[in-house]
Amino acid sequence: MARYLGPKCKLCRREGTKLFLKGDRCYSDKCALEKRNYPPGEHGRSRYARRSNYRIQLREKQKLRRMYQILERQFRTYFKRAERMKGVTGENLLKLLESRLDNMVYRMGFAPSRATARQLILHNHFEVNGKRVNIPSYQLSPGDRVAPREKSKNLLVIEESLKNFASRGTVPYVSVDINKKEGVYLEEPTRDMIPVPVEENLIVELYSK
């Protein structure tokens, strides 16, 4: 499975915002963006780039794609699906990305980052509605229950992540029982519920050219 293997903090610096790619480190003063809030590279602080409409649209697309850690081809497939759905395309795109299993494992606090969530899912540590699922892109539906498998509930990474769950902030469309180590995807979120700092209309404009 293709994936980005380069320095993750450089991606946050490139986009000028926290993408929360390194778990709890992103919430601490060790975050690279706190120390060097300028683009990476030798001329990062002095580089001048003309802010054309295309550049602004591209940066929004890259920001969203990198936040969910999806490669370009897969991201474009999600966009085409969002176009075919009823409603606003940009909002549909965010709903599709949010309902991915790896994102929900992260949102429910079972993993400190989406990358860790993806690894845990691939290694057969999670189940949906009592059935093992090892596909990170598995699409959840409202009412679905997500939980670590019985043999995986005491994994240190899951226990440590749940300890810090409240401090990372919760979303209203998931419910988590920390004692049972079980989460429920309650409802399809509206745009104002999704804590993603992007202007999705710019992405729609980019792909509509």
The tens digit of pLDDT for each residue in 119-141 reads 999 999 999 999 999 999 999 99
> Taking the C-alpha atoms of 18, 20, 26 and 32 in order, what is their torsion angle to the nearest 10 degrees?
-50
Q: State the Cα–Cα distance between residues 16 and 33, nearest whole angstrom.
A: 8
Residue 159 CB partners (closer than 8 Å, separation 6+): none
Query: Which residues have CB under 8 Å from 24's CB, separation 6+?
Result: 112, 164, 168
pTM of the full structure:
0.81
Is pLDDT larger for residue 113 or for residue 41?
113
pLDDT band (50, 70, 90) for residue 1: very low
